[in-house]
Chains A and B, each alone.
Chain A
Amino acid sequence: MNDSTPMHDSRVDLAIIGAGPAGLAAAITASGLGLTVSVLDEGRRPGGQIYRGIEDAPARGEQWMTLLGEDYARGLDLVKRFRASTAQYRPEHSVFDIAPDGGLGILGPDGAHWIEAERVLVATGAMERPVPLPGWTLPGVMGAGAAQTLLKSSALVPGARTVIAGSGPLVYLVARQMQTGGANLVAVLDTTPRANYRRAAPLLARAMLAGNEIRKGLAWRREVKKATPLFRTGVRNVHVEGVDAVEAVSFETGGGRGRVDCELVLLHEGIVPNTQLAMAAEADHDYDELQACWRPRLDAFGRSSAPGILVAGDGGGIAGADLAVEAGHLAALAVAADLERISHAEAVERGAAARAAIERKSALRRFLDTLYRPRDEVLAPSHDDTLVCRCEEVTAGELRQIAAMGCSGPNQAKAFTRCGMGPCQGRMCGLTAAAVLARAGGRSMAEVGHLRIRPPIKPITVGELAALDGVGPPPDAGPLLPTAPDEGTD
Chain B
Amino acid sequence: MFKRLHDLRTPVSFEFEGETVTAEDGDTVAAALLAHGVRHVRDAVVSGRPRAPYCMIGACFECLVEIDGRPNRQACLTPVRAGMAVRRQSVAGGTPDGGAQ
Q: Which A residues form the contact surface with B (CB < 8 A)? A: 42-44, 49, 56, 60, 64, 92, 94, 127-128, 130, 137-143, 145-147, 149-150, 153-160, 181-182, 244-245, 263-264, 274, 390-393, 422-425, 427-428, 456, 459-464, 482-483
Contact = CB atoms under 8 A, between A and B. Distances in A.
A139 B72 contact: no
B72 A423 contact: yes
Interface string B3-19: 11110000000000000
Contacts of A156: 2-5, 31, 34-35
Nearest to A181: B5
Contacts of A181: 5
Contact of B50 (A49, A130, A139, A149): A139
Contacts, number: 152
B40 to A, nearest CB: 6
Given A393-B47, A459-B99, 6 more contacts: A43-B77, A56-B26, A139-B39, A145-B56, A156-B2, A393-B46
Nearest to B49: A137
Contact of A423 (B41, B77, B93): B93
B51 A149 contact: no
Contacts of B28: 153-154
Contacts of A43: 77
Contacts of B32: 154
Contact of B72 (A44, A64, A459, A462): A459
A50 B96 CA distance: 37
B40, B51, B52, B54: most-surrounded residue (chain A CB, <10 A):
B54
A142 B52 contact: yes
Contacts of A427: 59-61
Nearest to A160: B1
A94 B47 CA distance: 29
B59 A157 contact: no
A483 B98 CA distance: 11
A163 B60 CA distance: 21
Contacts of A425: 101
B27 A423 contact: no
A142 B53 contact: yes
Interface string B56-89: 1111111010000010101001010000000000
A60 B6 contact: yes
Contact of A461 (B46, B51, B97): B97
B1 A159 contact: yes
Given A155-B4, A155-B5, A142 B57 contact: no
B50 A245 contact: yes
Residue in B32, B56, B101 with the greatest tally of chain A CB atoms within 10 Å = B101
A181 B100 CA distance: 40
